[in-house]
Amino acid sequence: MRHIISVLLENEAGALSRVAGLFSARGYNIESLTVAPTEDETLSRMTIVTIGSDDVIEQITKQLNKLIEVVKLVDLSDGDHIERELMLVKVRAVGKDREEMKRMVDIFRGRIIDVTDRDYTIELTGTGSKLDAFLKAIDRAAILETVRSGASGIGRGDRVLKV
């Protein structure tokens, strides 16, 4: 099953490679991993999307907790949570396709953030599956480049991950 794990860890050089190294050394999957400092600059927050059986996920959370630099973590999939991913897509947009592409962006509530006479750069946020759906909905041949951030997640309501 797919799990989304949020980790607060010391914002120190090498902390990211400890996490990445743990996953490769123990053969766990990483579907995506995002990390950035938090409002408290001594802490980074990492979101890891992984796939595994309940036993594997239990081991992943235990092994992560064992890393000295990990302060706290939560498996967001254990409860209600919100998940968002950012995607930037550069598409070819010429002639009559230009209007069609604009319409698709509006339907998916994206934004065109850069324009030339030949292409658009589109910004889209949402769950991973929404981003997938957008890519499927537009003409595949029109896609010049995509870049995705990987998922970030946060618990709903009063579910708070804080030190």
Partner 1 sequence: MQLSGAEIVVRCLQEEGVEHVFGYPGGAVLFIYDELFKQDKVKHILVRHEQGAVHAADGYSRSTHKVGVALVTSGPGVTNAVTGIATAYMDSIPMVIITGQVPTHAIGEDAFQECDTVGITRPCVKHNFLVRDIKDLATTIKKAFYIAATGRPGPVVVDIPKDVTATKTEFHYPERVSMRSYNPVTKGHPGQIKKAIQMLAGAKRPMIYTGGGVILSDASAELTQFVRLLGFPCTNTLMGLGGYPATDRQFLGMLGMHGTYEANLAMQNCDVLLAIGARFDDRVIGNPKHFFDPKRTIIHIDVDPSSISKRVKVDVPIVGNVRDVLKEFIKQLESGKSSVDTAALKSWWTQIEEWRGRDCLKYDRASAIIKPQHVVQKLYEITKGDAIITSDVGQHQMWAAQFYKFVKPRRWINSGGLGTMGFGLPAAMGAQLGNPKSTVACVTGEASIQMCIQELSTCKQYHLPIKLINLNNRYMGMVRQWQEFFHGNRYAESYMDALPDFVKLAESYGHVGMRIEKPADVEPALKEAFARKKDLVFMDFITDQTENVYPMVPGGKGLSEMILV
Of the residues 39, 41, 53, 62, which one makes contact with partner 1 according to CB under 8 A? 62
Task: Tell me: does residue 14 bind partner 1 (CB under 8 A).
Answer: yes
Name the phi and psi angles at 102, rounded to 5.
-60, -40
Stretch that binds partner 1, among 6-14, 30-38, 89-97, 141-149 (CB under 8 A): 6-14
Task: Tell me: does residue 162 bind partner 1 (CB under 8 A).
Answer: no
x-or-dash string of contact with partner 1, 78-117, rule CB under 8 A: ----------------------------------------
Task: Tell me: does residue 163 bind partner 1 (CB under 8 A).
Answer: yes
Length of the chain: 163
C-alpha dihedral sign at 17, 70, 37, 146:
positive
What are the tokens at 80? 């209600």
User: What is the DSSP secondary structure assignment for residue 77, as one 8-state letter?
Assistant: G
What are the tokens at 134? 């957008």
Residue closer to partner 1, measured from CB, 59 or 146: 59
Q: How far is the CB of 3 from partner 1 (least distance, A)?
A: 17
Helix, strand, coil percentages (3-state) for the chain, rounded to 5, are: 30, 40, 30
What are the tokens at 104? 């698709």
Q: What residue ranges bind partner 1 (CB under 8 A)?
A: 9-10, 13-14, 17-18, 21, 25, 55, 58-59, 62-63, 65-66, 68-71, 163
